[in-house]
Structures are given as structure tokens and as C-alpha cells.
Amino acid sequence: MHFQVKPSAVHDATVTVPGDKSISHRALMLGSIAEGRTEISGFLNGEDCLATLAAMAAMHVSIEQPTPTDVVIHGGGLEDLHDPGMPLDLGNSGTAMRLMSGLLCGQAFDVALTGDESLSGRPMNRVIVPLSQMGAVIESDDGCPPLRIRGQCELEPIHYDMPVASAQVKSAILLAGLYADGETSVTEPAITRDHTERMLVAMGAAVSSENGRITIQGRPELKGRRIQVPGDLSSAAFVMLAVLLSESADVVIENVGINPTRTGVIDILLSMGADLSLENERKLGEEPVADIRVRSSALKGCAVDPALVSLAIDEFPVLFVAAAAAEGSTTFSGIGELRVKESDRIAAMAAGLRELGIRVDESEDGAVVQGGRFKGGTVQSFGDHRIAMSLAIAGTVADSTVTVLDTDAVATSFPGFTGLFRSMGATIEEAG
């Protein structure tokens, strides 16, 4: 599948985006090991989260999905997962792979975790190392999936200083800590998304956070509850980008999660001159949400504060395109983590933008993007959903047609992507 994008004018609109992927994954996992009924609304019905749902169901969890965005889980507690009798295929989802490693290393059964070609090349030692320190036995293919997790391991609580800020690693350790007697803690070098901690507390776990150190008490009795999943800020970022680059548009994106550990993309765009505001701020359960209002803006290049990197780690493909459309140059530094995502996102965005006539100078952990005008052309997404969508938005303001190759992975996080943008006036077509 590929996208064909023609220059087009985004118009005024009020829209919603699919549910938050990070929260949807965690709701499925924690609902499955909580006692009683967990009702999830706003669930992201994308391929990544459906892979997690299928994995939990394979471990004999009773799960119903009465509508695409509603899920009901009947959980039996921490010890109620059972041998699936087959490898669990997590598709393209690094989040599912890393969090599931923490969840499953304290179970009574052996299990294998597999994924697609992209996931099979992603580094897993960052979770294998701390989980092994807790007593887990995890075999891998030279640090990459498939992972083979030994059952009946007695886990011990540890304190772990994370060398790299990662919400996935932090969450894996906290989930393993549920199965260890005593206090397990982790210190993160920079703030990362805290959806796991918020949801654990809401379900009855004892979790504390102080000076970057997060501590969980093992063996809690988690209780099922209602979880309302807000719109995904990472998905909303593509809408924000399209509006900012347009000539004259005023768009409201309703009911978007604005967890302060996720809002780096907003701060960075504001520093570039974006006309962007939060309206109707409120809470859905434990998560803050708002309507995001965005108007067309003349962006200016800047040096992006490295302190914001962990708060915007998934949105840098969007920010690369914003930088390419801005006046002057934009410097990104401290973003080396992007090289081990679904693709090497620094190299992938640099290659795509160069193909569209933009100058990009790469470094090991950053890049300098010189603002300019997009020309037409054919660009490769490298099978990475965020690369595909970011370059598609660039195509809406290019001087001729942009073809984005290998876009199947967009369904992992943003089902209905092309339909939503067509409803806003963009000319984006899917072709086989």
C-alpha cells in the first residue's frame, strides 16, 4: 500500500482522533490481571493494540469487544494468566513486547514473544538486563526478538537506575515488580510518560514517585475499573501539523490527552511560533484532557531544548516536517533514541525530506533541518507509521504530487488516517 498526496487546502473543522495507543495497551494488560470487571471506552482499535488484546485472550483472559472502541475484561487477579500453548505474536508493537516481558516474567508458565520483521530487529536488552537482575530468565536472538521467557522464576525486588529515559523500560520493571515481594524502584534520567503509574494507582497499587524515583509495592490486589481512553496526542500531532502548514485554517481537535509527560510536542511547536491553545481542560479518570485549537501559522526555526526530548519522543517525525516548513534552521539534539524505533527515524526523515528538496544534516544523535519549500517526489516510509504520516502531511503543501511508499503500518496506530484528512480537505489517496 502507498499514499498519493496532492497539494491541497486544509479547511476549518472540528475533528477527533483515535484513542491513545499507550493507554490502550496498558488498560488491556492491567485489566487482565486485576480482579473483576474492567470497562475500556475509547480503545484504539488499531493493529498494535489488537495484537495485545489477542495475546491476553490467548492467555485465557475473558475479553469482550462489543464495539470497535469498547472492551470489557473479566480479570481474575495477578495469578490468573495461563499458558497460551503457542508463541504470542505482537506484530509491530515495541510497547507490547517490552511491557509484556515485565508482565510475563513472573508467571508460572514458559512463553515466547514474537513479532514482525521490524519488531524482530528492535533492541530488547534494555528490558532483559533489569528483568534478569530481578531473577527472570529471558532468552533472545542476540538481544532482539523473539524472546523466550522462563516460567516459575522467583522475582526479587531491585532498584534500577535507567541509563536511557524510556517509559517502556520503566513500565516493564514496574509490572515485574507486581510479582516480587517488597519494593521495586526505578530512577529515570528524564521524565517519561507516566500512564502505567497512574493506572496502577487507580487500580489499587501502592506507587510513589519522588525526585525521579518511582517505587511500587509488590503483590497488590488490583481491582478492575472503568477506563476512558482520551484521543492520542501523537495522532493529534499530525492534524496539528497539517493545520499549521496550511494557508488559512482553524481546527479544533476534541478530547485529546494532555498528560504533562507527553506534551513536549506542544511546547516545541509553540516555541516555533505555532498558534495553538488548549481549551476545555478537564480529566478523564486519571488522565488530563483538553480540546486543542490550532490555526495556520508562519513557523520559525529554533534550537529544540534537549530537555523536551523525552516528552515528545514519538512526535519528532512531525517536528522534522514542521522544521522543514519553518523559516531558518532548526537544530535537534539528544534524539539518538529515534535510531532504534520502528525505523531509524533520524535517517528515515532525513532521506524523505531530502527527496522533497529540503536540506538535512545528520549527526549521531541529532540533525539540523534547513527550512524551505517541498517539491514533489516519491519517498520511502521504511514501514514506519509515523514516517509515512509525517511525509504525507508534507505532501499536502508540496508543489506537486508526493507518493509515500510502504504505508500499511499506519493502521497500527491511526486507523482511518486518510479518511480523517480527506474530511479536512486534504487530497490523500491509498493505492495498492
User: Could you give the residue numbers annotated as active site?
Assistant: 314
DSSP state of 350: H
Dump the DSSP string for 134-164.
TT--EEEETTEEEEEE-SS------EEE-SS
The span from the CA of 323 to the CA of 331, in Å, is 9
Residues 260/262/263/268 CA torsion (nearest 10 deg): 140
| Cα dihedral 309, 91, 288, 10 sign | positive
What are 266's three cell numbers?
A: 506542544
What are 380's three cell numbers?
A: 520511502
| Burial of 10 (C-beta count, 10 Å sphere; 0-12/13-18/19+) | buried
The span from the CA of 50 to the CA of 47, in Å, is 5
The span from the CA of 129 to the CA of 127, in Å, is 6
CB atoms within 10 A of CB 109: 15
